[in-house]
Chains A and B, each alone.
Chain A
Amino acid sequence: MFGMEMKKIFSWKLLLLIAVVNVLLFYLRLEFELEHFPNGRPATDLFRIEQQLIPEYGARIDENELLEIKALYTDRVTAANAFFEKEDNAQVLGITGYKEFQAMDTADPELSAYYSDLMFESGQDFLWELQAWELLIENFEARDSAIKAQIERTDGARQQHYEQQLAEERFAFYSSTVLDNFLNYKTYMAIIILISITILMSPVFLRDYRAGMLPIQYTAKVGRGVYRAKWLAGLCSTAILTVLLLAIYMGLYWTNGTASHFATPLSSFGWYDYWYDMTFFQYIVLSVTAIFVVAMLLGVLSMAISTIVPNAIVLIGIQIVVLFIMIAGVTMYLIRDIIILYLPQMLVPAAYLVLFGIIFISFGWIWRREFRKDIV
């Protein structure tokens, strides 16, 4: 019986529809995060440098390592100087080396034309790369004052977090290029999966109700136990589709080649701060788990709605509102920003508890009602 209910849920028409919707939504947003990673300059250069440095220096950079990194940078500056020495144009304009190039007055039309020619037209990689090196080194050199500024500005648990970070000397050297990309990726991935689950699960109970199956099913030997079977089949189907989609989309994410960053803790990447420190890989696992949990909750909620609606129009009407809340509320705060520091520490866990509570209490009520109600 369980198997037959599963077969009804995975009707080929519905699967085809879900496939079409997935392809469309993939190309609408998600594909961009794959195609355009790293997105432009200097993100491309930052990513390349990080891929080079992480295996060598790991998560934390000490003073000696910083000197080595600076030496790497200086080598490149020397190469840049050599480049400008050979450039006739540069000599004419008075740019004798990289220092002069950096300091030049871009308000001067001639210089500005030369600048944009180098940076954009002929696309000199080494110039962009030097910028990226500078960005990383300068940020790192300002590490103390940056955290101290944060301590000034915050209070309570957040302040403690920064104080602890300062005390343990957990400073970020790397950029947020990879994390930003993953943040966007997981958000759109979550949205696509939630929409797919809604499409799959919404008709589960309505289907049999509209077909006039209830009087037959509920008077059969299993009686209203069939509701339990459908419910379990629904839960399993939600899990299967979620795992399948997560596997596909995380497989695609793998092609971004960010494995180099997996073992590095979040605190090594700049820009965002998090309540809990964990490696990037652990963060990915946490995010994927969160998506799975929310998808399961949405599956349960969709089944609950499916039980009480009289027809497809009401079903869609309610699901428009539910999906809006799921995307604008749950996905944004409970998946995208799951352990981010700018949300209160207890907000996300508490919100999950409330979500669990609401969904299971309402479902329990609907379940009981289904087992007791008169079938007319």
Chain B
Amino acid sequence: MLITWHEMKKAITSPVIVILLVLFIAFNGFQVIGQSLAKEELKVVNDITFLYGRTLTNASLQQMKDALDQDAKKLGTEEEVQDYLEAMTFEKYEQEDVFQQQAIDQISLNYTYYSLGAELESRYTSIDMDELREDLFEASQMQGWLAGFMGNQFTKWKDRYEEIVETAEYKEWFFAGQYRMHSELFRSLVKNIAVQSVLLVVLVTALIANYEVEQRTQSTVYTTKKGRKLIWHKFSAAMGVSLLIFILLAGFSLGIFFLTYDYSSVWQTPISSGLNWEYKLPYITWWPLTVWQFLILALLTELAVVLIVAMLAFAISLYVKNSYFSWILCIAMLVAIFLLPSFLTAYPVLQFIASLNITMVLLNPHMYFNGGTTFSMIQFFELWTILLWLLIALLGSGLGIRRFLIKDVV
């Protein structure tokens, strides 16, 4: 432990690592705060869940409607809220005083959620699963077991969709899709955290693995009692520092995010909420996952990817022995495996295998545990990919370490 700690200190006390870490956290902070124009509007979800409960039912929607009509009356109209808002032209709005304008804004905002809720059932149940199945088979000329497998996967996903409809899992309040809060949190922030971690982790691993080469202390260090077995400590140290970097980056960045946005009322909402509908399809997850469960799982998945990248970087460093080349090669390799599937469109089976791709997992946290019509949306995709690459990474660093243990130090 002491020796591992010594090795970790070589990286932790390196000013460049610390400065980069701080810069990355600052960058994420600016990104979050710069994008947070709508954060006050988002608070309306807290009021709604407080007043009408987290689940949307016909009864609660009716309550909401009545309350909105009441509010409209207070503004001095006899119309229903819908008509009132439709009749509210820009000119009319401009003539009202500031307090009145605020009240109108508030009603209009609440009404947006009400109408989203009211239309949710028809919108959600009109998702055409058969058409999606066609898309799946049009996108790739699959045959044999692969076609069967993907077909099965799709059927399972369809069953899951039906289950969501049946159990009304999708009928829970979340920030309206137009704010893209799911993307904001996962596609932007968690992805940035993961990518920044990778940049740092590769650097740190190259630093620890090649430290004695760079400092020309190999003859001194590898002839001690510990000798070349020190490499195991270096391996653990690289993992330890990687873990630390990820925790610090994620901790501070997410801390800023949740200080900026109030998630208190939606932690228990499922990711598959019909309100969480940003693009063509809502997020239809393989399992019922609440926002906090999804966040924890997404972070664990990204952490696993980051640690695997650290292992791969360790293996590369042992072979290349030059931090500069190691770093560039490692990042280039991640890009290369990302590109690989697109070169294999003519061979669906190979393309399928190449799609089990850690870079893809790294870059798409918003799509985790989601079903759909691509190879990367099969059930347990993240798990399979991580296991496959964990195997490759362990094999790579295992071979590298074995080679290091018997090779001449020159």
Q: Taking beta carbons and an 8 Å cutoff, which residues of A are in contact with B?
A: 13, 17, 20-21, 24-25, 27-28, 199, 202-203, 210, 311-318, 320-321
With A17-B329, A24-B336, A24-B339 in contact, do A316 and B23 touch (Cβ < 8 Å)?
no
Chain A residues near B85: list those with CB within 8 A.
none
A318 and B327 CA atoms in complex are apart in Å by 13
- Contact yes or no, B23 A321, CB < 8 A: yes
Q: A-facing mask of B312-334, CB < 8 A → 1, else 0? A: 00000000001111011100100
* Chain A minimum-CB-distance residue to B210: A312
**B16, CB-defined interface residue at 8 Å:** yes
Shortest beta-carbon distance, A36 to chain B, in Å? 13
- Contact yes or no, B328 A312, CB < 8 A: no
- Contact yes or no, B339 A316, CB < 8 A: no
Closest 5 A-B residue pairs measured CB to CB?
A317-B16, A312-B323, A312-B324, A314-B16, A313-B207
Chain A residues near B14: list those with CB within 8 A.
313-314
With A21-B328, A199-B328, A313-B203 in contact, do A318 and B16 touch (Cβ < 8 Å)?
yes
A20 and B325 CA atoms in complex are apart in Å by 12
A329 and B311 CA atoms in complex are apart in Å by 33
* Chain B minimum-CB-distance residue to A24: B335
With A312-B323, A318-B16 in contact, do A24 and B332 touch (Cβ < 8 Å)?
yes
Q: A-facing mask of B193-215, CB < 8 A → 1, else 0? A: 00000010001001100000010
Partner of B20, one of A210, A312, A317: A317
A203 and B322 CA atoms in complex are apart in Å by 11
**B19, CB-defined interface residue at 8 Å:** yes
14 inter-chain pairs at a CB distance below 8 angstroms, sorted by A residue, are A17-B328, A24-B332, A25-B335, A210-B214, A312-B327, A313-B14, A313-B16, A313-B203, A315-B324, A316-B327, A317-B17, A317-B20, A320-B20, A321-B23
Chain A residues near B327: list those with CB within 8 A.
312, 316
Chain A residues near B323: list those with CB within 8 A.
311-313, 316
With A311-B214, A321-B23 in contact, do A202 and B324 touch (Cβ < 8 Å)?
yes
Given contacts A313-B203, A313-B206, 14 further A-B contacts (CB under 8 A): A24-B335, A24-B336, A24-B339, A311-B214, A311-B323, A313-B214, A314-B14, A315-B324, A316-B203, A316-B323, A317-B16, A317-B17, A317-B20, A320-B20
A203 and B324 CA atoms in complex are apart in Å by 8
Chain B residues near A203: list those with CB within 8 A.
324
- Contact yes or no, B214 A321, CB < 8 A: no
Most B C-beta atoms less than 10 A away, residue of A17, A311, A321: A311
Which of chain B's residues 91-127 have a Cβ closer than 8 Å to chain A? none
Chain A residues near B203: list those with CB within 8 A.
313, 316-317
* Chain B minimum-CB-distance residue to A313: B207
Q: A-facing mask of B8-40, CB < 8 A → 1, else 0? A: 000000101101100100000000000000000
Chain B residues near A316: list those with CB within 8 A.
203, 323-324, 327
Report the number of A-B residue pairs with Cβ-Cβ less than 8 Å.
56
Shortest beta-carbon distance, B235 to chain A, in Å? 18
A321 and B14 CA atoms in complex are apart in Å by 16
Shortest beta-carbon distance, B345 to chain A, in Å? 13
Q: Taking beta carbons and an 8 Å cutoff, which residues of B are in contact with A?
A: 14, 16-17, 19-20, 23, 199, 203, 206-207, 214, 322-325, 327-329, 332, 335-336, 338-339, 342-343
Most B C-beta atoms less than 10 A away, residue of A25, A27, A311, A313: A313
- Contact yes or no, B332 A320, CB < 8 A: no
* Chain B minimum-CB-distance residue to A202: B324
Shortest beta-carbon distance, A208 to chain B, in Å? 14
Chain A residues near B19: list those with CB within 8 A.
317
Chain B residues near A24: list those with CB within 8 A.
332, 335-336, 339
A44 and B329 CA atoms in complex are apart in Å by 39
A313 and B17 CA atoms in complex are apart in Å by 9
- Contact yes or no, B206 A28, CB < 8 A: no
* Chain B minimum-CB-distance residue to A18: B328
Chain B residues near A311: list those with CB within 8 A.
214, 323
Most A C-beta atoms less than 10 A away, residue of B214, B322, B324, B327: B324
A20 and B328 CA atoms in complex are apart in Å by 10
Chain A residues near B325: list those with CB within 8 A.
13, 17
* Chain B minimum-CB-distance residue to A210: B214
A202 and B214 CA atoms in complex are apart in Å by 17
Chain A residues near B322: list those with CB within 8 A.
312
Chain A residues near B23: list those with CB within 8 A.
321
Shortest beta-carbon distance, A295 to chain B, in Å? 18
- Contact yes or no, B20 A321, CB < 8 A: yes
Chain B residues near A28: list those with CB within 8 A.
335, 338-339
* Chain A minimum-CB-distance residue to B327: A316
- Contact yes or no, B199 A320, CB < 8 A: yes
* Chain B minimum-CB-distance residue to A324: B27
* Chain A minimum-CB-distance residue to B343: A27
Chain B residues near A17: list those with CB within 8 A.
325, 328-329, 332
Chain B residues near A199: list those with CB within 8 A.
328
Chain A residues near B17: list those with CB within 8 A.
313, 317
Chain B residues near A317: list those with CB within 8 A.
16-17, 19-20, 203
Chain A residues near B214: list those with CB within 8 A.
210, 311-313
Partner of B332, one of A20, A202, A312, A321: A20
- Contact yes or no, A21 B332, CB < 8 A: yes
Shortest beta-carbon distance, B327 to chain A, in Å? 5
Shortest beta-carbon distance, B38 to chain A, in Å? 23
Chain B residues near A13: list those with CB within 8 A.
325
A217 and B164 CA atoms in complex are apart in Å by 73
Shortest beta-carbon distance, A202 to chain B, in Å? 7
A183 and B335 CA atoms in complex are apart in Å by 24
Chain A residues near B342: list those with CB within 8 A.
27
A317 and B22 CA atoms in complex are apart in Å by 12
Shortest beta-carbon distance, B216 to chain A, in Å? 9
Shortest beta-carbon distance, B378 to chain A, in Å? 25
Chain A residues near B332: list those with CB within 8 A.
17, 20-21, 24
- Contact yes or no, B207 A27, CB < 8 A: no
Shortest beta-carbon distance, A111 to chain B, in Å? 19
Chain B residues near A314: list those with CB within 8 A.
14, 16
Chain A residues near B336: list those with CB within 8 A.
24
A312 and B199 CA atoms in complex are apart in Å by 14
* Chain A minimum-CB-distance residue to B196: A320
A21 and B328 CA atoms in complex are apart in Å by 9
A164 and B48 CA atoms in complex are apart in Å by 54
Chain A residues near B343: list those with CB within 8 A.
27
A177 and B353 CA atoms in complex are apart in Å by 37
A311 and B207 CA atoms in complex are apart in Å by 10
Shortest beta-carbon distance, A154 to chain B, in Å? 22
* Chain B minimum-CB-distance residue to A328: B27
Most A C-beta atoms less than 10 A away, residue of B16, B19, B332, B335: B16
- Contact yes or no, A27 B324, CB < 8 A: no
Chain A residues near B335: list those with CB within 8 A.
24-25, 28
A223 and B214 CA atoms in complex are apart in Å by 26
A317 and B207 CA atoms in complex are apart in Å by 11
Chain B residues near A21: list those with CB within 8 A.
328, 332
* Chain A minimum-CB-distance residue to B211: A313
